[in-house]
Amino acid sequence: MQIGIKSLIAPVFWKTHNQIKNHTYTHYWLPGGRGGTKSSFISLEIILGLMEHPGRHAIALRKVGVTLRESVFSQLEWAISTLGAYDKWEIRISPLSMTYKPNGNKIIFRGLDDTEKLKSIKLPKGYLAYAWFEELSEFSSLDEINNALQSIMRGGQLFWIFYSYNPPESINNWVNAECVIPKGNRVVQKSCYLDVPRDWLGEPFFYEAEDMKIRRPEKWKWQYMGVPTGTGGEVFRNVSAMTMTDEQINQF
């Protein structure tokens, strides 16, 4: 490794880094609240993997293709720069692509709003070893993910599939429901801003988080801690029981 990876990832991900390195699992689910650095971690792991292993390529996916440029593409570009390897990569905007020049490994980008584009992916050599589903909760169901994986997971023996997302508010959402089902080839690693070195995020971030914790604790728990707080059946969540006077009724 060109730069010590542990100096670039939050301690909460050190164990996950070793699991990825040793291919302990195939599927890595990374739910978390704001500031949990899950996307930064995934981007570093993918870039390191491509630079160290010829013949392995990667694909980054979002539900909607137009969101790729400002999300996963920018995040992977950040990882390349952070690792001090910018001069070794060919980065193209149209179409979106990244190629590690020393071994030819590529990163391609796709939106699942056009599933036919996945079927047309052709690589001159090697296979798609890494896949990243960013903002997993935007996808409609696990079936949609599995359909994509049927096109992606071909031609190789080792795969690393990453899923990053802020858990939906409802505990009944398919992502939250799937996350708690034990599977032998899957690990779930949660993170939040409290797991990250304070200077990485800056004091203003912590101020806003702690302010919400005081003012709106349930919203803080969901947005910053990544904990689902609703059942999905609520219409009004600020209702309280009370006895109304005739005067109050007459004001309606």
Q: Active-site positions?
A: 135
Residues recorded for the chain? 252
Of the candidates 62, 10, 69, 2, which has an alpha carbon nearest to the alpha carbon of residue 190? 10
Question: How far apart are alpha carbons 115 and 63 in whole angstroms?
Answer: 10
CA neighbours within 13 Å on the CB side: how many for 45?
A: 30
Closest by CA position to 135, among listed 146, 127, 145 = 145
80: closest CA among 71, 69, 70, 91?
91
Q: Are 205 and 35 in contact (CB under 8 A)?
A: yes
Which phi-psi region, left, alpha or beta, contains residue 128 (left: φ > 0; alpha: ψ -120 to 50)? Answer: beta
The answer for 55, left when phi > 0, alpha when psi is -120 to 50, beta otherwise, is left
Tokens describing residue 38: 């899950």
> Which residues, in sequence order, are CB contacts of 252 under 8 Å at separation 6+?
none
| 8 A C-beta contact, residue 149 and residue 100 | no
**Bridge partner residues of 44 (DSSP):** none
